[in-house]
Chain A
Amino acid sequence: MAGQKPPPEPHGDDGPPPPDTGMGMTAVSYLFAGMLVWGGIGWLVDHYVGTKGIFAGIGAVVGAAGGVYLIVRRLGA
């Protein structure tokens, strides 16, 4: 069975194509990853410098921006 050819049409069944779960999850994970990584780095900077959270805030915003940029580049048309 593993040696069979794939069906000529993209969907073997008549049902609708599955929702693109993979893409949605990737987008969400980029956004969260961006905020967590740079927010975390900012938090470490805060800890080191002695400020109360300004760098964590800036980091989270910058990270979210980076995440959005990545989503557009990787998943956008």
Chain B
Amino acid sequence: MIGPSTVLAAEFPPSVEDFYLPSILPWGAHDSYWFTKITVLVWVAVAAIIIFFLVSYRKPQLVPTKKQWMAESAYGFVRNNIAIEMIGPRGINFAPYLTTLFMFVIVMNFFSIVPFIQISPNSHIAFPAILAVISYVMFIVVGIRHHGFFKYLKTALIPPAPWFILPLLIPIEFFSNFLVRPFSLAVRLFANMFAGHMLLLVFTLGGFAMINANAWLAPISVVSWLMTIALTFLEFLVICLQAYVFTVLTASYVQGALADEH
């Protein structure tokens, strides 16, 4: 939590250093990053999701209560509009994982606009990377279990094309399906959250930098802070969109692994 005094003291051009928050253990060393605000936020996200769904489904009723309705809407949205829409009837098997993924990403992203928290763990590449690795391993394992190892490689790597173009196409398929996919999943989410945090920092700290430099610039500072508020709403859009995109792409990769040749 940044008080106004520390904001005033913060250096104006925000840098990557602003993402490495100090350890919150009182006995921690100065450069120990084992237990920071980011760590706390991850555990808060995990606990919030588990507790919310457990409580909502403790006594399910035919006419749902408000909490139950919210939980069912979240699950129903992912199940019907992502899992079944993308994968087909088999998508139901993946709906629990996809819902968990969606909720986790959206809650983690949402921290970036909660007042006084205002940083998302997803603005560190480590968290999106692990999520992308899970999705990557999952779609490959699903494909291998569905087709068998060699048949899966054949459907994934050999497009329907005349034999003489295949040497041109197979490296592209391999690169696109097995190297770009996990990388782009992770980087897309990370870069969006990183850039969002950076943008808010620039406009907030920029306001303070201008008002400190010259009192006549105060009106522009106010404009800068109003921009921060507007950008926070934009950030909300990005948060929902990125959680949705991550889940949809995971579903689409699973769908590709399950698809039969056509």
Q: Which of B37-45, B74-82, B122-130, B232-240 contacts A (4 or more CB under 8 A)?
A: B74-82
B82 surroundings in chain A (CB, below 8 A): 18
User: What number of A-B contacts does a CB cutoff of 8 Å give?
Assistant: 97
Q: How far is the CA of A2 from the CA of B181 in the complex (A)?
A: 28
Q: Does A11 lie within 8 Å of B80, measured CB to CB?
A: yes
User: Given B80, B92, B172, which contacts A63 in the complex, CB threshold below 8 Å?
Assistant: B172
- Which chain A residues in 22-68 approach chain B with CB under 8 Å? 22-23, 25-26, 29-30, 32-34, 36-38, 41, 62-63, 66-67
Chain A binder among B24-32, B203-211, B222-230, B247-255: B247-255
Size of A's binding interface in residues, CB under 8 A: 34
Interface residues of A (CB under 8 A from B): 1-2, 4, 6-7, 10-13, 15, 17-18, 21-23, 25-26, 29-30, 32-34, 36-38, 41, 62-63, 66-67, 69-70, 73-74
**Residues of chain B whose beta carbon lies under 8 Å from any beta carbon of chain A:** 72, 75-77, 79-82, 84-86, 89, 91-93, 95-96, 159-161, 165, 168-169, 171-173, 175-176, 179-181, 184, 244-245, 248-249, 251-253, 255-256
